[in-house]
Amino acid sequence: MEEKVKQNNSLEIALLEPEIPGNTGNIARTCVALGAKLHLVGKLGFVIDDKRIKRSGLDYWFRLDLTLWDHLDDLFHDFLERYPDGGIYYTSSKAKLCYTEVHYPPHTLILFGRETHGLPESLLLAHPERSLRIPMLPEARCLNLSNAAAILAYEYMRQQNFPNLLKIGEVTGRGD
């Protein structure tokens, strides 16, 4: 069995009660590609060994740094205990702050809500300065969860100058 990929240990993505296994699998694959940690919180809309999750994550699933949490408060406590200077950010189409207007601290946790309901408004109201939105047309309700997670994850990585990531590829000429 192969070892887990090197973790950046700086970006952590959390999904609160995710419902669609394909989205979670896609986000898991993004986390592996970036060396980010994934947290799944609360009641999941699928079983963790669901073949649809593993199919979405393809052969990356065993490399994933994954933690399951029953309660969001436990995740927050753990994160802030490990990184007292870390930042927790909340995502929502209802937020007023654009995700590109934030300077993310080295240790960042980005929280995403359920596909059908998003995050509880109480979290957004309690943390408006850390509630982020991705700009879109007014008639668009929201983006796909895995797309939104990738957008924010790569913005974080861009601001950190893509630590430990291969930034230059190579054409080998070995086929199309």
Under 8 Å CB-to-CB from 36, ≥6 apart: which residues? 7, 8, 10, 11, 12, 13, 30, 65, 153
- Summarised one tens digit per residue, pLDDT across range 133-149 is 999 999 988 899 999 99
CATH class of the 11-159 domain in this structure: alpha beta
Domain boundaries, the chain: 11-159
pLDDT at 60 > cutoff 80: no
Asked if residues 135 and 107 have their Cβ atoms less than 8 Å apart, the reply is: no
- d(CA 152, CA 58) in angstroms, rounded, equals 22
pTM here is 0.89
Residue 113, annotated as binding a ligand = yes
- d(CA 132, CA 174) in angstroms, rounded, equals 43
Helix (H, G, I), strand (E, B) or coil at 51: helix
